[in-house]
Amino acid sequence: MKIFDQARELALIESSASVLGWDQETYLPPAGREHRAAQLSWLSSRAHELVTSEAWRQDLETAERTNPGHESKLAANLRELRRDFDRAHKLPVELVARATTVSSLAKHAWAEARERSDFAHFAPHLEKLLGIAREKADRWGYTGEPYDALLEGYERGTSTAAVATLLENLGHELRDVSARAVAKSTARAPRLPAGPYPVAAQQRFNARVAEAAGYDFQAGRIDTTTHPFCTGLGPRDIRLTTRYDEQDFTSSLFGVLHEAGHGMYEQGLPQADYGLPSGTAVSLGIHESQSRLWENHVGRSRTFWERWYPAAQECFPPLVGFPLDDFLAYLWCAAFSPIRVESDEATYDLHIILRFGLERRMLNGTLAVRDVPAAWNEGFRHLFGFTPENDRAGCLQDIHWSMGGLGYFSTYTLGNINAAQLFAAARRDPAVGPAIDRAEYGPLLAWLRKSVHAHGATLNPADLIRQATGSAPTTQDYLAHLKARYL
């Protein structure tokens, strides 16, 4: 299939850009930034040229005329390539260029506005970003509401209404669960023994844990960045980053487990299909399910620490004499923070529920930009029982909107929901559950490989979950997990 060759060439270009992007975040000398931007822009122009070429369109049409069977991988690949092609071609070049300019200016304005806690400085930019998001939604088309069209780009085949139902179900109980978890933690909140936990020791420990989880260092590595991430530079080159706190080794460790979850997903995609939809991760919500599963369901569990705590104590002398139960109570501390990225498992999704509701209303035109701070604070008080002290700790805290990332936040909670549902299903497998209880994760990874990774993007996220777990996405397992751990 010539269209597959084209798709593979696109992957070569995009993965080359990933190398340059990874280097930019890890090792690039400061003075090298300007030239790096020019290199990345050249690569991105080549990618754009390729996907908008007449050859690409013709090769896709030629392949479609072969009429593959509906159920085949070939059919799924062509369907997804067509979907991407149509979505890309519905946006005029002018709009794409305008979106880039607007969000580039908006990012700077947002950073300044956040610094000064001055929403009015960001408001006109948010207005423009919303305008562009609505324009895109109109061009892509939707049946329900504009959020649908945006969501489709991150979590295809689902609807805003379906996400809203899940988030409402979750929020309904979570308000109570989180309040009780926080109250319980306030009563008993052990502190981690004072460090230092030297970076070199953290690196050794993290690498041992990541390897035991199944992250393949032959096809990956861990570097240091301010904001941890996972990136694919090739089918067998999936790299993680983390950051270190010498007073708390768990910060880098859970960063590594989270990113290794993403990384094992990428390492588990069918290599021979690299560059094709069948060799590509399907959605943000499924990607995040993998990171959350390893970070929270595995990494924060009692069985995990029964296995690893002695090794941690050997690695980190301050832990000697600190009982495992105290350590677990420290890990399971819940607290209400105004800041999403500082919040814990028991309270995280309240932040998402707030953002999802506000974004929907902004996109529907029922919430004016100037009213966002008030709506944020009111929504926040309703969920958390207090109001952030200013907009910097409130509606200005996240970078996402300034980058044009509207319709994105909900996928974090979808990830949490999917993670719990997948983990529960895996546990029910007699080859997996008992192994997890022994802190052996080979069978769990094999189950994820087979049930999730092997499908690439050939199934819609909801279908993937249904096929892997036996039921449609539901909040039941996630709520059960939170209650079991935090109450």
Q: Which of residues 18-47 bind a copy of itself (CB under 8 A)?
A: 19-20, 23, 27-32, 34-36, 38-39, 42-43, 46
246 binds a copy of itself (CB under 8 A): no
Residue 459 has a CB neighbour count (10 Å cut-off) of 18
In angstroms, give the least distance from the CB of 262 to a copy of itself. 16
In angstroms, give the least distance from the CB of 415 to a copy of itself. 26
Dihedrals φ, ψ of 356, to 5°? -60, -45
Q: State how far the alpha carbon of 259 is from the alpha carbons of 145, 215, 458, in Å.
A: 33, 10, 23
**447/451 Cα distance (integer angstroms):** 6
Q: Given the rule CB under 8 A, which of 137-145, 229-237, 420-428, 434-442 is the region that contacts a copy of itself?
A: 229-237
Q: What single string gives the DSSP state of each residue in 25-71?
A: HHT--GGGHHHHHHHHHHHHHHHHHHHTSHHHHHHHHHHHTT---TT
Q: Given the rule CB under 8 A, which of 217-225, 324-332, 338-346, 423-431 is the region that contacts a copy of itself?
A: 217-225
In angstroms, give the least distance from the CB of 324 to a copy of itself. 34
In angstroms, give the least distance from the CB of 17 to a copy of itself. 9
175 binds a copy of itself (CB under 8 A): no
317 binds a copy of itself (CB under 8 A): no
5 vs 342 by CB, closer to a copy of itself? 5
107 vs 221 by CB, closer to a copy of itself? 221
Set 152, 259, 295, 345: catalytic member? 259
386 binds a copy of itself (CB under 8 A): no
Please say if 259 is a catalytic residue: yes
259 binds a copy of itself (CB under 8 A): no
Decide: helix, strand or coil at residue 401: helix
**118/112 Cα distance (integer angstroms):** 8
Q: Which of 98, 175, 208, 236 binds a copy of itself (CB under 8 A)?
A: 236
46 vs 139 by CB, closer to a copy of itself? 46
Q: Which of 3, 7, 15, 261 binds a copy of itself (CB under 8 A)?
A: 15
Who contacts 189 (Cβ-Cβ below 8 Å, separation ≥6)? 329, 330, 333
Decide: helix, strand or coil at residue 283: coil
Dihedrals φ, ψ of 275, to 5°? 95, -20
Query: What's the token pair of residue 296?
Result: 């929270």
Q: Which of 70, 94, 194, 218 binds a copy of itself (CB under 8 A)?
A: 218
Q: Which of 12, 102, 109, 311 binds a copy of itself (CB under 8 A)?
A: 12
CA-based diameter of the chain, in Å? 70
27 vs 386 by CB, closer to a copy of itself? 27
How many residues bind to a copy of itself according to rule CB under 8 A? 36
Q: Which of 68, 190, 234, 317 binds a copy of itself (CB under 8 A)?
A: 234
Beta bridge partners of 230: 240
16 binds a copy of itself (CB under 8 A): yes
Q: Is 117 left (phi over 0), alpha (psi -120 to 50) or beta?
A: left
**171/149 Cα distance (integer angstroms):** 24
**218/166 Cα distance (integer angstroms):** 39
Q: Given the rule CB under 8 A, which of 98-106, 228-236, 430-438, 477-485 is the region that contacts a copy of itself?
A: 228-236
Q: Which of 219, 375, 399, 439 binds a copy of itself (CB under 8 A)?
A: 219
Dihedrals φ, ψ of 239, to 5°? -110, 145
In angstroms, give the least distance from the CB of 31 to a copy of itself. 4
Element containing residue 290 per DSSP (H, E): helix 284-292
Query: What's the token pair of residue 39?
Result: 């290199």
119 vs 274 by CB, closer to a copy of itself? 274
Site string for a copy of itself, 180-199 (x = CB under 8 A): --------------------
32 vs 131 by CB, closer to a copy of itself? 32
98 binds a copy of itself (CB under 8 A): no
204 binds a copy of itself (CB under 8 A): no
110 vs 274 by CB, closer to a copy of itself? 274
Who contacts 281 (Cβ-Cβ below 8 Å, separation ≥6)? 265, 266, 269, 287, 456, 457
Query: With contact defined as beta carbons under 8 Å apart, do 282 and 455 qualify?
Result: yes
Residue 97 identity: A
Decide: helix, strand or coil at residue 107: helix
Using alpha carbons, select from 133, 134, 108 the residue that is nearest to residue 122.
108
**336/347 Cα distance (integer angstroms):** 7
Catalytic annotation, residues = 259
Residues that bind a copy of itself (CB under 8 A): 9, 12-13, 15-16, 19-20, 23, 27-32, 34-36, 38-39, 42-43, 46, 216-221, 223, 233-237, 239, 274
